[in-house]
Amino acid sequence: MFGIRTNSASQLHSTNIPWHHSRRLLFTVLVLTSTALGAWAMFRILHVNGITPLQGVILVLFVITFAWIVIAFWTAVIGFLIRLTRRDPLTLARQVPAQRPATPIAEHRTALVMPIFNEDPQRVVAGLGSTCRSLLGTREANGFEVFVLSDTTNAEIARREESAVAALQQRFKDRLAIHYRRRTNNKGRKAGNLAEFCRRWGQRYDFLVVLDADSLMSGKTLLALVGAMQANPRVGLIQTVPIPVRQDSVFGRFQQFAAALYSPMLAAGQSFWQVDAANFWGHNAILRTRAFMACCGLPELPGRPPLGGEILSHDFVEAALMRRAGWEVQLDTDLVDSFEEMPSNLLDFAKRDRRWTQGNMQHLRLLGGRGLHTMNRLHFLFGALAYMSSLLWGLMLAVSTLDAIGRALNRHRFFSDSYQLFPDWPIDPPGLIMPLLASTAVLLLLPKVMGILLALWQRPQAFGGRTRLLASALLEIVCAVLIAPIMMAFHSLFVVGVLSGHNVTWAPQVREGRAVPWTDAIRHTWAATLLGGIWALATYQLAPMFFWWLAPVWAGLLLAAPLVRLTSSLRLGDRLRRAGLLLVPTEVSPPEVLRNLSQPLPEDGTVCPVPPPPEMPGEMPIQSFTTFIRPSTLPYRDASVRK
């Protein structure tokens, strides 16, 4: 809901959260009840003359995957109601259009930190320059300083990086302090980069705003985050909802469209039931520096990678450690102008997911960590299930295929025992198959329908008008259905790879649009295509009825290579834009931070960045998951903002 805020920029965080525990109880009851009904229906369907071991496996896999779908469904329903009634997901207060400028924030020292690793220097300084320009436009930039924290290992990129940052420093000279620091030891990757900054300079700053190399945030959003932290000393972290932007390929555009259409609603639902134990996504968020330093020093996990060693998905863990120490972690779903970029094609997208798969599966080892909040344990579990569910889904389909073929090949045995007096008459499954299939389809599609209805009701013009919105939504659903089996295959392969001991390599994310060559598309998808062909042929020959139910799966696998190639097309993406399809609000009415995205700065190899400011060393102790002594008093009782 663009242009809608509460009466005060900090009201969200300064008001006590009503029904704190009742919300989670309500959500738990809804999820467990719905899952139980689905499990009961599947049990009745399978239990004709007893459940075979194969059918028992199907039932277990179904319950897990069905529960995962139910969680997403009820999150969407709650988010839909909140957005429809224009209420804040935390306070449940009615939102009204802002009638006056936000109250100026108090004196503060805030560091905007951007960790980078072998990134394109021109893209880094272009985005960071636009954020800085927007911040300066608020006329309240005095309390901010900017740090580019380089972990770059490529000497040539590092040289260009220094030159580009030096040019950025010259552009904002005497208006905004911009610093550059490059590490030669990349221990801990991004988490280690931030920890090293905190140990050297953290004491200088009240707050840290963490940006990724592709992050964009407006000055108003930055000020609102600082104001919210000042208004509520209980809060240690506030996460915004970054929306993908600047996508040109078909894949990037339909993912960007889906995020713009559904993410605000889903985030509102998450904020409602996560309350003060939300998650951290690693960027586009503000942290209270002393809280982060006191309780977020990350240990290494025992054992060797991939499940041991350095924690890859550090953000989930940092949020859990902060909440364990008593700090609130909130998800602000109303702040707009928080953006990011994303991989432009399916292969680069899957490559990024490969790293996230390993990082999220490491979290399974932390489920029993001492002192962790229940919500954070759920974050760990759900993060792993986000990828493991693909493997479970694939296994369920494979086992169901074997069961369907077995039923088709075997005639019913009326007398299972030679001394049996009465036959075992075949009993048709109760009339629950179609209702269960229909219910599952509703659970999957209704969140999308609710997102579409919200946009049609509240902001159709932001997506190009009602007709274009509906056409774009239909196109997005078709693309999502076709690509789902390919992602299932990739994620399943990643999970199996992690479990079998294959460690992920660390590489910078590919953000620029590129068309995938046919050779690459075929090389990475031929196995999925072969699997789809064998699957389709086997079910068509041996279980024709199941063949048609399975059509969306084997069709997506068979078309994997053409889909990868086609959806990576920049030319087709441009044609869709010209036709008014998959338009998003940031294209229809671009915000200032996107309109003023800086042009590439001239590089001058003779200019070096200005040295960083004097250090104020501080401790960031390594935390333990096996021992934890809960503080006798909450850490914010004596909190005060340093003046």
Does residue 595 have a pLDDT over 80?
Answer: yes
Contacts of 306 (CB under 8 A, 6+ apart): 358, 361, 362, 497, 498, 501, 502, 503, 504
Mean pLDDT of 316-331: 96
Please report the pLDDT score of residue 417 as a whole number. Answer: 57
Which of these, 585, 609, 549, 501, lies nearest to 256 by C-alpha position? 585
Q: What percent of the chain has pLDDT over 90?
A: 71
Residues 511, 293: contact at Cβ < 8 Å? no
Does residue 43 have a pLDDT over 60?
Answer: yes
Please report the pLDDT score of residue 411 as a whole number. Answer: 56
Mean pLDDT of 136-165: 93
Please report the pLDDT score of residue 80 as a whole number. Answer: 98
Does residue 372 have a pLDDT over 70?
Answer: yes
Q: What percent of the chain has pLDDT over 70?
A: 88
Does residue 535 have a pLDDT over 90?
Answer: yes
d(CA 378, CA 363): 10
- The reply to whether CATH 3.90.1170.40 applies to domain 1-99+108-410+440-515+568-598 is no
Q: Which residue has the higher pLDDT, 304 or 597?
A: 304
Mean pLDDT of 523-527: 96
Per-residue pLDDT tens over the stretch 422-443: 444 444 455 667 788 888 889 9
Does residue 457 have a pLDDT over 90?
Answer: yes
Please list, residue by residue across 12-42, b when 16 or more beta carbons sit within 10 angstroms of its beta carbon and e when fewer do.
Answer: bbbbebeeeeebbeebeebbeebbeebbebb
Please report the pLDDT score of residue 7 as a whole number. Answer: 37
Per-residue pLDDT tens over the stretch 273-318: 999 999 999 999 999 999 999 999 999 999 998 999 999 999 999 9
Q: What angle (nearest 5°) sits at the alpha carbon of residue 63, between those of residues 58 and 66?
A: 115
At residue 610 the predicted structure's pLDDT band, cuts being 50, 70 and 90, is confident
Per-residue pLDDT tens over the stretch 86-143: 999 998 888 765 444 455 677 899 999 999 999 999 999 999 999 999 999 998 899 9
Please report the pLDDT score of residue 8 as a whole number. Answer: 36
Backbone φ and ψ for 284, nearest 5 degrees, come out as 55, 45
Count how many Cα atoms sit within 13 Å of the Cα of residue 568 in the half-sphere of its side chain. 22
d(CA 522, CA 527): 9
Please report the pLDDT score of residue 106 as a whole number. Answer: 77
Give, for 146, the enclosing helix (H) or strand (E): strand 144-150
Does residue 4 have a pLDDT over 50?
Answer: no
Does residue 377 have a pLDDT over 80?
Answer: yes
Per-residue pLDDT tens over the stretch 183-197: 988 889 999 999 999
At residue 477 the predicted structure's pLDDT band, cuts being 50, 70 and 90, is very high
Please report the pLDDT score of residue 600 as a whole number. Answer: 61
Please report the pLDDT score of residue 414 as a whole number. Answer: 46
Please report the pLDDT score of residue 506 as a whole number. Answer: 66
Please report the pLDDT score of residue 16 as a whole number. Answer: 64
Q: Which residue has the higher pLDDT, 480 or 425?
A: 480
Backbone φ and ψ for 253, nearest 5 degrees, come out as -70, -40
Angle between helices 551-558 and 560-567 (to 10 degrees): 70
Please report the pLDDT score of residue 100 as a whole number. Answer: 41
Q: Which residue has the higher pLDDT, 284 or 610?
A: 284
Q: Which residue has the higher pLDDT, 339 or 44?
A: 339
Which of these, 249, 252, 260, 241, lies nearest to 462 by C-alpha position? 260
Beta bridge partner(s), residue 239: 285, 331
pTM, two decimal places? 0.91
Query: Which of 92-96, 323-327, 419-423, 596-600 bottoms out in mean pLDDT, i.e. has the lowest?
Result: 419-423
Does residue 505 have a pLDDT over 90?
Answer: no
Please report the pLDDT score of residue 503 as a whole number. Answer: 81
